């Protein structure tokens, strides 16, 4: 066990013995238990950490199980032949199991990688990267995500007051929100995300700091903000998340072009469409990113006139998408796909309303299934939406007809031609 003098400067943890909490080993993934026990029997600390501990204490099933230890990445790699080291500055180990199960194991760290990027005075060395359990807990974003489950005695280790906040239903930032949001503004999105998903109240200090520092989100790489937003669209809680985004002003900091255009009617339409997306996600239906962005863009398009000519409509959709998404880097391919979905949906919508047959030339287009699904998300009765959008109900794209190669006439083999006589 490695001991660091800096750990003595932090308050001692609250240790909750097994009889006083509800987390049980039988709810932990078998593969994660194997990793925990191998590290423990090799003489290292081994803690389950983060969202998995939070979800298990709330009676939910975690999507993945993350583990932290005082073993260095090279030492972890020697213990698990079925593993690999990933990352450059902050290296962690992925342990592979049958059935495509992956357990990620990281070494206790002093600070977040995004804080490290902000701190130019601290050299980027391995000694400054690795830390203690107390430091690892302090670097995390929220108190409810800073709980450890110790496999040695099945106790909970709480350095940040996470258990009390979990029991109180409170989202609270570890440390001073004013400092933490400046060092990594994406933390503001995570505060709203967990408040929306769990239905927890947000700490008043954190909420005020989000409102006053929402403009800092523009300093983050747009691609990183885009990926964070996609997590929420795929979470099944995008409506409450966007309600918090609109109330805090963070939404218009990311999408400034929307503020003069949406208004109350547009905001209500956006929330209604996101509620429909949530119903489909909660029913475990798979939705393509391009379809989600097309649905998201719809209220923006509906708040202004649009051309009726199909050629002009396509140009209008391309310009509107570029203008609307200027605060986040939507890949060009995704933008092209969503323009195709929206353009094709314009043709499909009147046919579906009148229950007319879809022309074969439309059903052969690459985005036909997504455009059909888009029309259902927009217009299907809410009580019928999930049933209409099940995979077996979505029409399959008609394959393009095979082009027959022109048949070449074979000349008869009459042998070499005889030279003509003079």
pLDDT tens for residues 349-389?
999 998 898 888 888 888 999 999 999 999 999 999 999 99
- 27 is known as an active-site residue: no
| Per-residue confidence (pLDDT) for residue 330, from 0 to 100 | 83
For each of the domains in the chain, give its residue range(s) and CATH number, in order of start: 1-168 (3.30.460.10)
- 64 is known as an active-site residue: yes
Catalytic residue among 70, 136, 141, 203: 141
Using the predicted structure, report yes or no on whether residue 6 has a pLDDT greater than 50.
no
Catalytic residue among 66, 70, 165, 278: 66
Task: Using alpha carbons, list the distances in angstroms from residue 403 to 359, 365, 368, 396.
Answer: 20, 17, 21, 21
Q: Tokens standing for 194? A: 């967990």
State how far the Cα of 120 lies from the Cα of 123, in Å rounded to an integer: 7
Task: Using alpha carbons, list the distances in angstroms from residue 31 to 24, 44, 52, 100.
Answer: 15, 18, 14, 11
55-89 pLDDT, tens digit per residue, is: 999 999 998 899 999 999 999 999 999 999 998 77
When pLDDT is averaged across residues 13-20 and rounded to a whole number, the result is: 93
The lowest-confidence range among 54-68, 106-120, 261-275, 350-364 is 106-120
Using the predicted structure, report yes or no on whether residue 412 has a pLDDT greater than 90.
no
The lowest-confidence range among 194-208, 363-377, 392-406 is 392-406
The lowest-confidence range among 59-63, 112-116, 240-244 is 112-116
Residues near 110 by beta carbon (within 8 Å), at least 6 away in sequence: 128, 129, 130, 131, 135, 136, 139
| Per-residue confidence (pLDDT) for residue 415, from 0 to 100 | 57
What share of the chain in percent tops pLDDT 90?
A: 68
pTM of the model: 0.85
Using the predicted structure, report yes or no on whether residue 337 has a pLDDT greater than 80.
yes
State how far the Cα of 46 lies from the Cα of 36, in Å rounded to an integer: 6
Using the predicted structure, report yes or no on whether residue 126 has a pLDDT greater than 70.
no
Catalytic residue among 64, 119, 176, 227: 64
What share of the chain in percent tops pLDDT 70?
A: 88
State how far the Cα of 337 lies from the Cα of 286, in Å rounded to an integer: 17
């Amino acid at each position: 066990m490695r001991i660091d003098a800096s750990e003595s400067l932090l308050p001692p943890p609250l240790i909750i013995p097994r009889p006083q909490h509800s987390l049980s080993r039988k709810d932990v993934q078998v593969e994660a238990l194997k990793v925990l026990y191998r590290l423990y029997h090799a003489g290292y600390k081994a803690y389950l950490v983060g969202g998995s501990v939070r979800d298990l204490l709330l009676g939910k099933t975690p999507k993945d199980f993350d583990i932290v230890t005082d073993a260095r990445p090279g030492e972890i790699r020697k213990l698990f032949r079925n593993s690999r080291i990933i990352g450059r500055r902050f290296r962690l180990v992925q342990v592979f199991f049958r059935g495509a199960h992956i357990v990620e194991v990281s070494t206790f760290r002093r600070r977040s990688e995004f804080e490290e990027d902000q701190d130019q005075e601290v050299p980027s060395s391995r000694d400054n990267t690795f830390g203690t359990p107390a430091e690892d807990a302090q670097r995390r974003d929220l108190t409810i995500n800073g709980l450890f489950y110790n496999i040695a005695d099945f106790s909970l280790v709480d350095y940040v007051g996470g258990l009390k906040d979990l029991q109180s239903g409170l989202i609270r930032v570890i440390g001073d929100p004013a400092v933490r949001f400046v060092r990594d503004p994406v933390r503001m999105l995570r505060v709203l995300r967990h408040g929306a998903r769990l239905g927890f109240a947000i700490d008043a200090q954190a909420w005020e700091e989000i409102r006053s520092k929402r403009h800092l989100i523009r300093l983050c790489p747009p691609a990183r903000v885009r990926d964070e937003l996609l997590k929420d669209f795929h979470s099944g809680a995008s409506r409450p998340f966007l309600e918090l985004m609109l109330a805090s002003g963070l939404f218009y900091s990311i999408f400034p072009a929307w503020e003069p255009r949406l208004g109350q009617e547009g905001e209500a339409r956006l929330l209604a469409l996101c509620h429909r997306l949530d119903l489909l996600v909660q029913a475990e239906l798979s939705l393509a990113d391009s379809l989600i962005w097309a649905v998201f863009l719809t209220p923006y398009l509906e708040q202004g006139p649009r051309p009726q000519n199909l050629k002009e409509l396509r140009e209008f959709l391309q310009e509107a998408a570029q203008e609307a998404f200027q605060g986040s880097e939507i890949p060009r391919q995704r933008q092209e796909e969503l323009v195709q979905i929206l353009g094709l949906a314009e043709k499909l919508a009147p046919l579906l309303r009148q229950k007319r047959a879809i022309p074969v030339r439309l059903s052969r287009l690459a985005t036909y299934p997504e455009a059909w699904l888009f029309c259902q998300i927009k217009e299907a009765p809410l009580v019928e939406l999930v049933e209409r959008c099940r995979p077996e109900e979505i029409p399959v794209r008609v394959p393009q007809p095979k082009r027959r190669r022109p048949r070449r006439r074979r000349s008869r083999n009459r042998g070499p031609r005889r030279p003509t006589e003079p």
